Amino acid sequence: MANSNIVSLPIYYNASENNRLAFDALMSEAKSLQYKLSLTNEEMVAMIDKLTAAKNNLNGKATDFSKADELLEEYNNRDNNQRYHNATAPSQLAYDNAINELKNKINLMLLNHLKKILHIIKKLSSICLMHTEQQLKVCYKHKD
């Protein structure tokens, strides 16, 4: 159950913030166990059980874009659509505005996902930096 696999799935990034934070906190705690010199099997099993429960609580669902894709494709082919051309100008404008609103919502959602991904990358980078610093400290201690 690698963290990098979970965070790239809709169950994680579409999950409620509380469930994501709980999972992240447990994942950080689990990662810190790798540096514990006297880690017992019981502690490891307990952490695995906690992580499994936190993963099972992730409640994100995949976003279904199929209907939006159909609507956008239909809109892109409006030049060939007699219903669009026969509609009144206010009806065409309302349709155009609704499609633009849909595009904006999709773009906003994609931007939010990108922000989440960048936040995760930042967190992972800091974890990697901490890990490297800890390794250097251990190596320096053993050098003496």
Q: In this structure, are residues 33 and 39 in contact, taking their beta carbons and an 8 Å threshold?
A: yes
List the structure tokens of 134: 């800890």
Kindly report, residue by residue over 6-48, the tens digit of the pLDDT.
887 888 888 999 999 999 999 989 888 888 888 888 999 999 9
Domain coordinates of the chain in residue numbers? 1-62, 64-144
- CA-derived radius of gyration, the chain: 24
Kindly report, residue by residue over 64-123, the tens digit of the pLDDT.
888 999 999 999 999 999 999 999 999 999 999 999 999 998 898 888 888 888 888 887
Q: In this structure, are residues 23 and 6 in contact, taking their beta carbons and an 8 Å threshold?
A: yes
Q: What is the CATH number of domain 1-62?
A: 1.20.5
